[in-house]
Amino acid sequence: MTANALTDLNVMVAGQGGDGSLTVISVLAELLARRGYHLYMSRNVASRIKGGHAEATMRGSLLQRGCLGDHIDLLVAFEQEAVDMAATRMAAESIIIFDASDGALCRDALAPNVRVVEIPFGRFAVRDLRRDLFKNSLSFGVLSHILSIDEGEATNCLHHIFRRLPQDAIAANTKALNRGRQYASELYAQQDRWTLADAERSEQLLISGNEAIAFGFLLAGGRFFAGYPITPATEVLESLQKHSVRFEAVAIQAEDELAAANMALGAAMTGVRSMTATSGPGFALMQETISHAGSAEIPLVVVNCQRAGPSTGMPTKPEQSDIDMMVFGANGDFPRVVLAPGEPRDCFELSVQATNLAQQLQCPVILALDQAVGQNSSTIEPFDLDAVQLQPGKRLDASELRNMSEYRRYQVTADGVSPWAVPGTPGGESLVTGNERNEWGQVSSNPQNRRTMVDKRQRKLDSNLQLLPRGKSWGDADASIGLLGIGMQQGVIEEAQQRLTAAGLRIKCLQPRTIWPVIDETLDFIRSSKRVYVIEHNQAGQLARLLLAAGASKACIGSIRKYDGEPFSPGELCSEIQQAEADRQGESGQ
């Protein structure tokens, strides 16, 4: 690190679950946000109620960043294991603030230029404040001193985070903060302290993708949600339960994923905009309900916040290995749309669009998140609520039904979408089953009718592609090398492209936001490139395989994959691309 003010800082706080790692990061995030930094926050916890390794990591940068940096600049470690696990990620001249309550730090895994400040947080907290719990505020005191934060500024941020606690608890945490600053001043030389930059502060919203999904659904008129807690999708349910009363909406926890999906489907059939959310194992259980929505032409939004599988897999780790299941899962042929947001603003916007599309196309619309997009938080500009518009689709009311000679719920139309009336609307009686049916809803296995109905449903997509969200593109539009990725890849591709461009490679990038059906925009991007590297988190290359099946040339598709439960860092992705380019040149003899 240099003596100049820091413009990009990566901080990790780690220990056992229950040590308060997230609290320290939350206070620091408040402080950096007030300084005008953009924030990106991630957490890594064990899949258990309490205990096990837990870490919270935050990147504060004067530039908008959508991922963590390559290295950790400052680590607050409550135990030896935290240091051992982070050792290879420490930056040159980084700092470790170590809780030495159980003994001195073993530095065997550390580079020699890593600096260590050892203070027995836990012991001091018990001795001075009678509770081990206060070690997190004590460690923040040390952290604030090393970053040259004024005592008043540090105290104010601490009070803001703890503002809902009783006054005696706030006073105790303030005392712990001051003790930490005192200990740090005795151990850490003034000339070695870092300083933070200041930037013009703008209005920012710190939010996760799961929270943004919930807000988008409510703003788009969503009024019924049923879900069952499952990592990493639970915050969608929790956010909706927190805010649903203000919108006169219902957000209910069902007894399992099957019940959640069917409750949402039943509500959707009554005309209510409905959604359910889950992760891979739960999404697998919902397949029959999703196929029923496709067959019966019932609008339904399903959020799949992917995690590492198969089966239980690694519930707290990110992966993108449900693509095949979301696109091709469930029995039979029926239309569905799969959208893939890449950051919280995308989550909000695509949640709105998914809720509208389900009504317009009368079919399931799936939002494909991953753990990083769903649970990580970042600062964004506040949402433009005035831009949200509700699209009702072909909804009939009683007066329109009175002017019709007859009502056919599954009327064959040019675009495949039938005008429909909410059950109970006078004149809008119809039959809805899981069987194939004719235009009136009557069960039919007539071969000609079967072909007619299958083709009718497919036309919903073929005739309405203009409604599907376009992707985000950036970089050199005339470049011959393309990078393509969805979800969690957006931020890391953005930063990798900037570095590769600086290194002399001409790069263009695309983040598709509609992954099914594969739209012309995506295929045109591939056709305009000499080679396209598809970056994804699964072993099989499911996204690349989907693009090839849709008509992309195998000769120009390269696949860069990761499936160890950890996101790409920008530097890691740059190295992968540079190596792939070197290998290609070697093969061609250039």
For residue 260, the domain's CATH number is: 3.40.50.970
Cα 424 to its chain centre, rounded Å, is 39
Q: Within this chain, do residues 176 and 212 fall inside the same structural domain, yes or no?
A: no
Say if residue 517 is preceded by a cis peptide, omega within 30 of 0: yes
DSSP for 245-300 reads: GGGT-EEEE-SSHHHHHHHHHHHHHTT--EEEEE-HHHHHHTHHHHHHHHHHT--E
**Higher pLDDT residue, 453 or 47?**
453
- Residue ending a domain, among 170, 192, 214, is 192
Residues in the chain: 590
Of 234, 242, 301, which Cα lies nearest the Cα of 274? Answer: 301
Which residue spans within 33-101 are E strands per DSSP? 38-45, 53-61, 72-77, 90-99
266 and 379 belong to one structural domain = yes
H/E/C letters for each residue in 496-538?
HHHHHHHCCCCEEEEECCEEECCCHHHHHHHHCCCEEEEEECC
pLDDT digits (tens, 9 = 90+) for 303-353: 999 999 999 999 999 999 999 999 999 999 999 999 999 999 999 999 999
Band of residue 122 on the pLDDT scale cut at 50, 70, 90? confident
Nearest CA to 226 out of 293, 285, 152, 302 is that of 302
How confident is the model at residue 99, as a pLDDT? 92
User: Residue 36, exposed/middle/buried by CB under 10 A (0-12, 13-18, 19+)?
Assistant: middle
Residue 101, SS3?
coil
pLDDT at 17 over 60: yes
Give yes or no: residues 248 and 351 share one domain. yes
Same domain, 406 and 423: yes
pLDDT at 33 over 80: yes
Question: How confident is residue 51, by pLDDT bands cut at 50, 70 and 90?
Answer: low
Do 50 and 179 lie in one domain? The reply is yes
Q: Which residue has the tokens 């992760």?
A: 279
Lowest mean pLDDT among 12-21, 35-44, 212-221, 495-504: 12-21
> pLDDT at position 50, please?
63
Confirm whether 1 is domain-assigned. Answer: no
Query: Residue 447 CB: number of other CB atoms within 10 A?
Result: 8
CATH of the domain at 93: 3.40.920.10
- Distance between CA 457 and CA 449 in Å, rounded? 12
Q: Which residue has the tokens 């005191």?
A: 141
DSSP state of 186: H
Strand partners, 390: none
Same domain, 339 and 370: yes
Task: Identify the domain containing residue 290 by its residue range.
Answer: 206-387
Structural domains of the chain, count: 4
The answer to whether residues 152 and 68 belong to one domain is yes
Structural tokens at position 264: 């949402």
Dist. CA 506–CA 502, nearest whole Å: 9
265 within some domain: yes
Whether residues 368 and 326 fall in one domain:
yes
379 is a domain residue: yes
| Edge-to-edge strands, sheet with 53-61 | 115-119, 90-99, 72-77, 8-16, 53-61, 38-45, 377-380, 205-208
> How high does pLDDT run on average in the chain?
94
pLDDT for residue 383 is more than 60: yes
Residue 446 forms part of a structural domain: yes
Beta-carbon contacts of 551 under 8 Å, excluding residues fewer than 6 positions away, are 518, 523
Is residue 322 a part of any domain in this protein? Answer: yes
What whole-number distance in Å separates Cα of residue 269 and Cα of residue 263? 10
> Which residues pair with residue 60 across a beta bridge?
9, 39
Q: Does residue 197 fall inside a structural domain?
A: no
Cis omega (within 30 of 0) for bond into 232: yes
Residues 93 and 61 in one domain: yes
Question: Which stretch of 122-136, 147-161, 216-230, 486-500 has the lowest confidence by average pLDDT?
Answer: 122-136
Q: Which of 347, 365, 387 is the last residue of a domain?
A: 387
Give the C-alpha distances (Å, rounded to integers) separating 199 from 7, 38, 98, 317. Answer: 9, 10, 30, 34
Tokens of 548: 């090839």
pLDDT (0 to 100) of residue 1: 43
Mean pLDDT of 224-249: 97
| Residue 142 and residue 86 share a domain | yes
The residue among 445, 465, 485 that closes a domain is 465
Characterize the bridge pairing of strands 420-421 and 337-339.
unpaired
Which pLDDT does position 395 carry in this prediction?
Answer: 95
Residue 200 pLDDT greater than 90, yes or no: no
Within a domain: 201: no
Q: What is the DSSP string of 116-129?
A: EEEE-HHHHHHHHH
Asked whether 209 and 183 are in contact (CB, 8 A), the reply is no
Q: What is the CATH number of the domain that holds 535?
A: 3.40.50.920
Each residue of 70-81: b (16+ CB within 10 Å) or e? Answer: eebbbbbbbbbe
The whole-number average pLDDT for the span 5-23 is 89
200 is a domain residue: no
Contact yes or no for 162/173 (Cβ under 8 A):
yes
Which tokens belong to 307?
A: 């995690």
Of the chain, the percentage scoring pLDDT greater than 90 comes to 86
Identify the CA nearest to 508 among candidates 536, 489, 538, 530.
530
Q: Give 226's strand partners.
A: 252
For residue 367, pLDDT over 60 is answered with yes
Q: Which helix (H) or strand (E) holds 242?
A: helix 234-243
For residue 440, what pLDDT band results from cuts at 50, 70 and 90?
A: very high
Helices (H), ranges, 329-369: 344-361
Same domain, 52 and 127: yes
Average pLDDT over residues 193-209: 91
Is the predicted pLDDT of residue 2 greater than 60, yes or no? no
* Residue 505 pLDDT class (50, 70, 90 cuts): very high
40-60: average pLDDT: 83
In tens, the pLDDT along 391-418 reads 999 999 999 999 999 999 999 999 999 9
What does the pLDDT look like over 539-590, one tens digit per residue?
A: 999 999 999 999 999 999 999 999 999 999 999 999 999 999 998 877 766 5
**Shared-domain flag, residues 214 and 250:** yes
Q: Pick from 251, 242, 243: which is nearest to 223 by CA?
A: 251
Rounded CA separation 559/538 (Å)? 10
